[in-house]
Structure 1
């Protein structure tokens, strides 16, 4: 399987912010940003792997600046790291005030996708990083993978100690 350049699978999505996209603070819903990041990253993953891809994890999202009704928001995603069947995709969300032209990083995240066929993982091409930004983000992604492994162990431990019964049933047991 041959390697691919980072620019071959880059994806962008630009969306205007409307009143229905806002929360009670009059800023863009965080869940909308998450969904749009996942959508943009899924395009990058599919372009790179040329197979079905699924979201395996979303690293924590850093919401850095609020996005308002005066803004549009653009998402840019690109692969920074690959494994045998996995791809780590960096997504940045840039808010732009359409009246002033002021641009700011609204949010960032690393998402991991896995190439799939017939419910089994499949190999994906390796990535050729081209820019200093891509190389630096690849190093950051490696460190975050280690943190995510530790956090997953903690989450599995939490899952083993918490109840799965509905609250009403638990209260009646006491």
Structure 2
């Protein structure tokens, strides 16, 4: 096991907004963005895992600006930290108004993936940041891991109170 650079995990794609992406407000439906970035981020995660992974959480989901019909969405996803079987991926969506060329940050989140096979681990033991953005996000990785651990503990206390009986 060796090191991998953040840019070696980078997955980039551009999506042209279509009418089928829009909600009743004329902007991209949030669920559509989540669908697109889940696929994008899984590519980045698998570049570290080199085996099948599954999405286990989305954190800090921020819809910052809406995307309209005359926009494109450039989705960028790369790994910002990993453990033995879990992988954190940062995903951002940069909008571009195609008529003017104006670019804007429209969305970002952190996603956690887990390697499905309990006998397998990540293929690397070190992640190397290359940009200031990557350095900043990697520097706060351990804080996000602690937040997720605290959230899981709260969830374990909360879940027994959720009813799954038929309400009808």
- Moved >4 Å (runs of 4+): none
Query: CA separation in 1, counterparts of 2:67 and 2:155?
Result: 31
- Within the alignment, does 1:11 sit opposite 2:11 as a pair? yes
- Within the alignment, does 1:166 sit opposite 2:130 as a pair? no
Match of 2:36 in 1: 36
Secondary structure of the corresponding residue to residue 59 of structure 1: strand
Match of 1:94 in 2: 94
Match of 2:153 in 1: 153
Query: CA separation in 2, counterparts of 1:99 and 1:42?
Result: 31
Query: CA separation in 1, counterparts of 2:88 and 2:109?
Result: 10
Matched length: 166
Match of 2:23 in 1: 23
| Structure 2 unmatched runs, 5+ | none
Q: TM-score, normalised to structure 2's length?
A: 0.92
Match of 1:123 in 2: 121
Q: String of CA shifts for 1:38-94, please: whole Å, max 9, x gaps.
A: 110101111222211111211131000011101010110111111112211100001
Q: For residues 121 and 132 of structure 1, do their structure 2 counterparts lie closer, same or farther at Cα, with a shift above 3 Å needed? A: farther
Q: TM-score, normalised to structure 1's length?
A: 0.89
Contact 1:114/1:121, CA 8 A, preserved across alignment: no
Query: CA separation in 2, counterparts of 1:4 and 1:15?
Result: 27
- Within the alignment, does 1:140 sit opposite 2:140 as a pair? yes
Contact 1:85/1:121, CA 8 A, preserved across alignment: no
Secondary structure of the corresponding residue to residue 160 of structure 2: helix
| Structure 1 unmatched runs, 5+ | 169-174
Q: For residues 121 and 107 of structure 1, do their structure 2 counterparts lie closer, same or farther at Cα, with a shift above 3 Å needed? A: farther
